[in-house]
Amino acid sequence: MERRRLAAARDLRRGMRKVDVARKHRVSYVSVWRWETRLGRGGDGALRLRRATGRPPKLNPLDLRKLGGILDRGASFSGGSRRIWTSTAVACLIRSVFRVRYHVNHVPRLLRKMEAARTVRGGGPILRD
C-alpha cells in the first residue's frame, strides 16, 4: 500500500486528476483525496507506512525464543503429566518463568505468532511432546 500511495503522490504532483489517479491505482476517489490532503500537510513522509499503535508485547523476541525452547522440550519435561501443551499449561509456564500474565484465550494467538516466526527460521512445530 505504501508503494501505491507514493506512486499516486507522484502522479498528483505531475498534475494528474484525482479521478484518473484513482482509476490508475485501483483505489477509491476518497482515498486519493485523503492522500493528497496528507501529502499537502506533510509531504511524502505523511504517506509512508506507520508503525501499528497499541500496547507493546509483554514478551520480547528473546523471551519468545526461550519460551520456544522450553516448549520444544515437551510438557512432561517441564514437570507436567500431560503429553501435549494446553493453553492453560502454557499460560502458567509463562507466568512462572517470565512473571507475565497471558489470558488463556490469548495463548493460541501467541503460539501462532511464534510458529510463524519459526517457520521463517526453519524450526519445528511448537506443540509437541
Query: Which pTM value belongs to this model?
Result: 0.52
CA 8 to chain centre: 26
- Degrees to nearest 5, angle at CA 47 with 17 and 7: 50
- CA atoms of 63 and 99, how far apart (whole Å): 11
pLDDT of residue 66: 92
Judged by DSSP in three states, 43 sits in helix
- What are the pLDDT digits (tens) for 61-98? 899 999 988 888 877 666 666 667 888 888 999 999 99
- What are the pLDDT digits (tens) for 25-72? 999 999 999 999 998 888 888 888 777 778 888 999 899 999 988 888
Segment (H or E) for 93: helix 87-98
- Nearest CA to 47 among 27, 73, 62, 66? 27
| Residue 87 and residue 105 in contact, taking contact as beta carbons nearer than 8 Å | yes
Classify residue 51 as left (phi > 0), alpha (psi -120 to 50) or beta: beta
- What are the pLDDT digits (tens) for 91-121? 999 999 999 999 999 998 898 888 765 544 4
Q: Distance from first CA to last CA of the chain, Å, rounded?
A: 41
